[in-house]
Amino acid sequence: MLTLPAILTSGQALDARQGLTAQIALQTSVIIDASDLMQFDSSTLAVLLACRRQAVSAGKTFVVLGLPDKLAQLAGLYGVSELVSSKA
């Protein structure tokens, strides 16, 4: 399981994306734990979507657990909630 940090805003997005994508290559299925997220913005969605794209293109399952309600609402606002919702 891959864990998102407590803070993931535009300032941390590039580093987080690079770290996660490197780890995704080593996983057989991709489960991301977002329950520690306390401070985030729309760039968090961009990171999750990039991870999903990488996982799906490699034929791996992709699941996000513990998505904070406000981030789930933001995903709905952008029309991508089904791409980052939990599917355990």
Residue 15 has pLDDT above 80, yes or no: yes
Residue 19 to residue 51: CA distance in whole angstroms: 10
Residue 88 has pLDDT above 70, yes or no: no
User: Under a CB-based contact definition with an 8 Å cutoff, are residues 49 and 85 in contact?
Assistant: no
User: What pLDDT, in 10s, does the model give residues 21-78?
Assistant: 899 999 999 999 999 999 999 999 999 999 999 999 999 999 999 999 999 999 999 9
What domains, with CATH codes, occur in the chain?
2-84 (3.30.750.24)
pLDDT at 87: 57
Residue 58 to residue 36: CA distance in whole angstroms: 26
Helix %, strand %, coil % of the chain (to 5): 50, 15, 35
